[in-house]
Structure 1
Amino acid sequence: MMRYISFGANKLSGEIPFSIYNLSWLSDFYFPFNQLQGSLPSDLGFTLPKLEVLNVGGNQFNGPIPASISNASNLMRLTIAKNGFSGRVPSLENIHKLQWVSISQNHLGNYGENDNLEFVNSLVNASRLELLQISDNNFGGMLPETVGNLSNRLGILSVGNNQLFGNIPSGLRNLVNLELLHLGGNKFTGRIPGSIGDLQKLQRLGLKGNKFWGEIPSSIGNLTLLTTLNFEENMLEGSIPSSLGKCQNLISLNLSNNNLSGTIPTEVIGLSSLSIYLDLSQNQLNGPMPSNFGILKNLGFIDISENKLSGEIPSSIGSCILLVQLIMNGNFFQGNIPSSFSSLRGIENLDLSRNNLSGRIPKYLENFPFLQNLNLSFNHFEGEVPVKGVFSNSSAISLNGNDNLCGGISELHLSTCSIKESKQSRSRSLKLMIPVVTGILLVTGMSCFIITSWRSKSKREPATPSAFLASVLRVSYENLFKATDGFSLENLIGAGSFGSVYKGILSHDDHETLVAVKVLNLQHRGASKSFIAECQALRSIRHRNLVKIITSCASVDFQGNDFEALVYEFMVNGSLEEWLHPNAEAPRNLNLLQRLNIAVDVASALDYLHHYCETPIVHCDLKPSNVLLDGELIAHVGDFGLAKFLPEATNNLSSNESSSVEVKGTVGYAAPEYGMGSEVSTSGDVYSFGILLLEMFTGKRPTNEMFTGNLTLHNFVKEVLPERLAEIVDPVLLVEREEGETSKANAHKQWTRSFSVKECLVSVLAIGVTCSSELPRERMSMEEVAAQLLSFRNKLVKNVRGQPATYVTA
């Protein structure tokens, strides 16, 4: 008797045959990501009374959701997102087993009606509800107070981008297991309740684009697991609470476009976890800047523009060496541009306009290789304007409103610098230099004496890579030669088409750190281009699940040959390849939760590259050997030698400016369209990730000798899901290894009775199948993949292990 119909991510079009709706014993109705049209029959709940899963997301269905759906009392998952459904959502009160309700991105509801969300009241009896997504529809009215009576298992609540108004319901505090709360893009008003701090498992909180007013509650500091906080475009006032400093996992903070006042708390600037975004722009913040910016070594974007900040620019900002954008315009800063800014060599956009800055324009700015936009207009700068680098392009710089500048390129139409001025300048410099140099010599002599005495008493201490990065910016061939014991075979840990990787110990200032040194084989065609591509990619990205580069070396060896190398943090657990396919000498295995954690990590990294970088980045060579594992088995995506920048965010193949067809990636993992000459796109990475996911949970490489003719890893999995799961899953996952091994037979029996584990595997492999679809348009986005995998992981932890997740990913 047929119980499952699964045709996800195919090329199906037209309407589903009416006869399928009469299969009364059907439990799984699974047709997502096709091109199906039509509407669902009005008697659906009567003809399919055994239905447990209804998934038609990502199609072209229209019409209403049948009211008879309430008769399908066994329904656990209702997923109809990304269609054209319209009208009211019927009552779901008889469906007590519901776990997922995903109806986002449709045309449901009516802005003019105030009872659009009456169906939320009917979900109160769904005691297993874990996900409720109704965002991007036409819902109006207020979010019902009964939302606080929903299941305390609810982990995801997304109601963004509708026309909802009123206050946040007080009962929301009862949803203590919420991990994602998205209320952005509505018309909510009132204060942010202090009870928001009761939701201590929140990881993402978005209230952007509403009309919230009043102060940010200090209880926000109780949300210590937060990774993303966005309160942009509201009417919030008062000071930024210092309690935010307790959110030690925060990687992105956006409080822009409000009426916040007071000083910027040092506790917030002290959040070393910030690595993507810090936006406090367009507020009323005042006073001097905190001096502890040096902690934010991994931050890529700072915007504090359009405030009332004053005093000198802190020199500690120069320690934020991974900055790509620094926006400080529209304040009252004074004094010179700090000399420490010479360390910001990766900066692309520097805007210091409309302040009270003075002095000369630093000449080191002309040596910044990536600087594309420099705005110093409407300050009090004086003297000669440099002519090299960014200063050679008049459209890339703005110097208006500085009346005492001279020189520069002819397009700037500045006056010529007089010889008299140059001589006077040199004379003043000599007069100042004599006492300064004398003082430096005295201080240096005393310092050397003190340091020598201290070193004789202290022991050598190993430095962490992050601390090491602050002090080591360049290394020589000799440094790396010594670090790797002459690039000895004993230290060789890997080799690829473009070079070899060595383990080494790099010493500097009585400190040493364990590193991985990637030496490029410059005899190989494309190796030097790979070196440049990797440098360009790594300088502008920062994420906990991407490898961290410590430094680079472009020099010559002892024989005078060109030498290029990259130095990374060393990953003590090697690559995912070594864990999935261990050799006999080093047997090791990953359990289900560990594999799922790694999948979440890799998805999070790709989501960041595709959607959170200023210019989207396509990795182009995702495979197990390029996924590295640290001491806690946290995954880090590496090897950006083939990475490409896209001119605009896209996951299709329409951009004519995308990278060329020369990129092939690795056989088995490269998207099929690349082999036919298509341009690089984020969809290509999604395909590679899909193959990687299938390999992780089946234990089979895509190049396995069993895959011949039309049989591929994709088809191998797709043809047996979900009924014959045990035939394809990695046998290691069928053997229980908790406190002592049982027999394989008993373990298999125990595993097959575990509904939650089996459901998790089916769901994860289904994502792998969808992502590895032949046609790019049928694949998911990494944003959606990352969200679903995180949900599966958390559900597995709660239902199977009965304990919290081992760590929270970004």
Structure 2
Amino acid sequence: MHNLLWLNFQDNHLGTGEAGDLNFLSSLPNATNLNILALGSNNFGGVFPESIGNLSTNLGSLILENNKIGGSIPTEMANSVNFQALDMTNNHFIGNKFNGKIPLSSKNLTPLAYLYLGGNNLHGNIPPSLGKCPLVDLALDGNNLSGTIPKQVLTLSTSLNLYLLDNHLVGSIQLEIGNLINLEQLDVSRNMLSGKIPSTLASKSFVAKCDTLGRIRHRNLVKVFTACSSVDYNGTDFKALVYEFMVNGSLEDWLHANENEDEPSNVLLNDEMIGHVGDFGLARFLPEGTYNSFATQSSSIGLRGSVGYAAPEYGMGNEVTTFGDVYSYGILLLEMFTGKRPTDNMFNDSLSLHNFAKMALPEQVVSVVDPTLIQQREIGEGSSSVKNTQNQSSTGSHKIYECFISILNIGIACS
């Protein structure tokens, strides 16, 4: 098959998932012009035979995704000097693929534009030598990679998409990221990165946020008047959004006025005590009728919102849904009437704010309701000329406690 250029076995049921599945590659020693070999989405198992090195040196694309191929990536692949696309996503490759002895670190791979190695069990550092490749897509997600993101990878002017999520990468997001002038998608979620976000990236995010917020109008969102940009006393760039003033401050101040904890204060109150959301930068605004398609595409979103208030399924990578908003509302309602934050030290793995309220209802509602609410009611009764008998007072108390039970039940149902 000297003239064979393209061999495509994609999307079949080929292979047994066992050793020896790829031995047929040994029968292609004369396919010296082979440019594309596509074996993806089958049931191929085992490891690459050594004969992979005898395949065409003209091989430009090797597609192996969604199989059960294991072992290390063979060093013999270095003989293929014209690789432009290599896709090994979702297999069983193991080991340190970047040890300097295999083609991914080789100068022979300088034409490489598309590299997909996600969903394996590879470890080690990301090699700086990848910066020599004209990479358009680099997907290393879902492995056990460690170390920092090399500066060389962050200077790839050709890069459109970088997928590094679900690894063990450390360090900060470096200033060189500002050199990715063609960048369309950058996903470094679920790693162990730290450090400030570079100002070049923050500036772009700030401008985009200003543009978005300036277009939004809703009766329960704080109105954005303008934005300002200056330099603080340390000479650092300072940027801020100027919101409508809420005269009654935050709900946080009303609920926990005597505590000095650094908690989010997103719910602000106007002169009529009507709640407004003050910081909704994590929200996603969708055109009407697009929710279902968006939810389908957002199968992995990471944790969004404040700890304790965000729905627990978000922490496990579930879709964004309106159920998450209902959960947050329920937690906030329970906090308002119990006077306890969901992050209170008394809550641990076996006890949550939800369970705290649920276990007390209905008989023990007094034990969980914020004592301030009960004291205020008793003071009001004492000054009332209407409730002047013990029986009337008892009846009134019964109705108040029924209200407490109903409200807490709503919070419990929502959360």
Structure 1 stretches of 5 or more lacking a match?
A: 111-115, 198-217, 225-241, 249-263, 269-281, 308-321, 329-346, 359-373, 379-390, 407-417, 426-810
Alignment deviations for residues 17-70 of structure 1 (CA, whole Å, 9 cap, x no partner): 133442222211111111111222345354221212101111111122122323
Equivalent residue in structure 2 for 1:98, among 97, 112, 131? 112
- Whether the 8 Å CA contact 1:158–1:182 is kept in 2: the answer is yes
* Aligned partner of residue 220 in structure 1, secondary structure: helix
* Aligned partner of residue 38 in structure 1, secondary structure: coil
Q: TM-score, normalised by structure 2?
A: 0.55
Equivalent residue in structure 2 for 1:221, among 178, 199, 206? 206
1:122 lines up with 2:122 in the alignment: no
Question: By how many angstroms is 1:265 displaced?
Answer: 7.0
Question: By how many angstroms is 1:353 displaced?
Answer: 1.9
Alignment deviations for residues 497-519 of structure 1 (CA, whole Å, 9 cap, x no partner): xxxxxxxxxxxxxxxxxxxxxxx
Equivalent residue in structure 1 for 2:55, among 47, 69, 75? 47
Equivalent residue in structure 1 for 2:93, among 85, 89, 93? 85
* Aligned partner of residue 109 in structure 1, secondary structure: strand
Match of 2:297 in 1: none
Match of 2:392 in 1: 420
CA distance in 1, matches of 2:191, 2:285: 33
Q: Which amino acid aligns with 1:145?
A: K
In proportion to residue count, which structure has more strand? Answer: 1
Match of 2:412 in 1: none
1:402 lines up with 2:369 in the alignment: yes
Alignment of 1:339-418 (within 5 A): 351-355=332-336, 401-402=368-369
* Aligned partner of residue 144 in structure 2, secondary structure: coil
1:11 lines up with 2:25 in the alignment: no
* Aligned partner of residue 75 in structure 1, secondary structure: coil
Q: Structure 1 residues 283, 26: CA separation in 2 closer, same or farther (over 3 Å shift)?
A: farther
Match of 1:132 in 2: 138
Q: Structure 1 residues 134, 267: CA separation in 2 closer, same or farther (over 3 Å shift)?
A: farther
Match of 1:74 in 2: 82
Q: Relative contact order: is structure 1 or structure 2 higher (C-alpha 8 Å, sep ≥ 6)?
A: 2
Alignment deviations for residues 546-573 of structure 1 (CA, whole Å, 9 cap, x no partner): xxxxxxxxxxxxxxxxxxxxxxxxxxxx
Match of 2:380 in 1: none
Q: Structure 1 residues 297, 32: CA separation in 2 closer, same or farther (over 3 Å shift)?
A: closer
Q: Which amino acid aligns with 1:109?
A: H
Number of residue pairs aligned between Structure 1 and Structure 2? 283
Question: By how many angstroms is 1:78 displaced?
Answer: 0.2
- Whether the 8 Å CA contact 2:338–2:369 is kept in 1: the answer is no
Q: Structure 1 residues 287, 104: CA separation in 2 closer, same or farther (over 3 Å shift)?
A: closer
Question: By how many angstroms is 1:351 displaced?
Answer: 4.8
Equivalent residue in structure 2 for 1:284, among 251, 263, 280? 263
- Whether the 8 Å CA contact 1:69–1:92 is kept in 2: the answer is no
Q: Structure 1 residues 398, 56: CA separation in 2 closer, same or farther (over 3 Å shift)?
A: farther
CA distance in 2, matches of 1:297, 1:189: 24
Question: By how many angstroms is 1:81 displaced?
Answer: 1.0
Alignment of 1:228-627 (within 5 A): 245=213, 284-286=263-265, 289=268, 291-293=275-277, 325-327=325-327, 351-355=332-336, 401-402=368-369, 420-421=392-393
Q: Structure 1 residues 297, 8: CA separation in 2 closer, same or farther (over 3 Å shift)?
A: closer
Match of 1:31 in 2: 39
CA distance in 1, matches of 2:188, 2:161: 11
CA distance in 2, matches of 1:303, 1:399: 31
Q: Which amino acid aligns with 1:102?
A: Y
CA distance in 1, matches of 2:160, 2:109: 19
Q: Which amino acid aligns with 1:105?
A: G
Q: Structure 1 residues 293, 142: CA separation in 2 closer, same or farther (over 3 Å shift)?
A: closer
CA distance in 1, matches of 2:42, 2:200: 42
Q: CA RMSD in A?
A: 4.7
Q: Which amino acid aligns with 2:336?
A: N
Percent of aligned pairs sharing the same letter: 22
- Whether the 8 Å CA contact 1:83–1:105 is kept in 2: the answer is yes
CA distance in 1, matches of 2:215, 2:59: 43
